[in-house]
Every structure is written in C-alpha cells, then in structure tokens.
C-alpha cells in the first residue's frame, strides 16, 4: 500500500496508554508504555468523562513520561495536560526527536476533585505517533 493524502492512517500510529478508568486523584494512574522507535512527532490526547459524586471543581492532570527500558519512567519537563471540566479532551503536541524509546501517560495524584460526596472521574489517554521513518506507519 502506498501512502496518500487521502489515507491519514498511513501516516500515524495511535496507541492507548491509559484505558478508561475511574480515579479520585488520590494516587497516580500509570499508563502502559508505548514504543515510539521510528517516530519523531506525536500528539498526547487525554480526556475526562462525567464526574461522579458531584464535585464543585476538578483539575485532572496528565503527565507525559519517558523511559529507555519500558520499566523506569521519568517525567518529560513541561509535557502536561490539565483538564478542568467534564467530558473534555485535551492535547499536547510533542517533538519526539530527543525523547527516549518508550513513552507513557500518567494521570497524576496532583488531580483534585473538590467538594461533593466521594467524587471521581473517568480518564483515558492515548499517544498518536507520526513522522514515521517508513510509510505506511505500522
């Protein structure tokens, strides 16, 4: 198959890092590592669902992390997405040329759901890889 302007799938590789999960923000939600070898740009896409427990305010914080071994991850400086509303999508464009081989998204314990009764929210995050060495992207 040859890549064409009418086939965006030939240029990108989407990968789920955090499968939909409910969090109250009391602990980190660590996503799965994504192997970015052969890709030099990316978009981190994070989203929230409808909060339960009627919080009066929320701040859901996602952090991009990197690793050379898919085991020990460290935060990528300045690579955060903060969402302050229900059913909202946030994104972050990332230059991967200087990043380590593995990436993951973490919904951090900096997440705050204020007020309400036992508030929680569903979160999910994906990484869309682009700038592939070889097309079509696989």
Helix (H, G, I), strand (E, B), or coil: what is residue 13? strand
Domain architecture of the chain: domains with CATH: 12-132 (2.60.120.680)
Helix (H, G, I), strand (E, B), or coil: what is residue 10? helix
Q: How far is CA 55 from the centre of its chain?
A: 23
Q: Each residue's pLDDT tens digit in the chain (138 positions)? A: 566 778 899 999 999 999 999 999 999 999 999 999 999 999 999 999 999 999 999 999 999 999 999 999 999 999 999 999 999 999 999 999 999 999 999 999 999 999 999 999 999 999 999 999 998 898
pLDDT of residue 89: 98
Q: What is the pLDDT of residues 108-134, one digit of tens each?
A: 999 999 999 999 999 999 999 999 999
Q: Residue 97 CB: number of other CB atoms within 10 A? A: 9
Question: Environment class of residue 59 by beta-carbon count within 10 Å: exposed (0-12), middle (13-18) or buried (19+)?
Answer: middle
pTM score, two decimals? 0.94
Q: How many CA atoms lie within 13 A of 53 on its CB side?
A: 16
């Amino acid at each position: 198959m040859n890549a064409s302007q009418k086939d965006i799938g030939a240029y990108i590789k989407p990968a789920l890092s955090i499968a939909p999960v409910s969090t109250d923000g009391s602990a980190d939600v660590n996503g799965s590592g994504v192997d970015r070898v052969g890709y030099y740009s990316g978009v981190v896409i994070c989203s929230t669902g409808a909060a339960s427990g009627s919080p009066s305010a929320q701040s859901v914080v996602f952090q991009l992390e990197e690793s050379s071994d898919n085991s020990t991850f460290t935060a990528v400086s300045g690579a955060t997405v903060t969402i302050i509303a229900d059913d909202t999508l946030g994104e972050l464009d990332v230059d991967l040329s200087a990043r380590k081989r593995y990436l993951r998204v973490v919904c951090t314990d900096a997440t705050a759901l204020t007020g309400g009764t036992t508030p929680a929210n569903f979160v999910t995050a994906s990484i869309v890889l682009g700038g592939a060495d070889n097309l079509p992207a696989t």
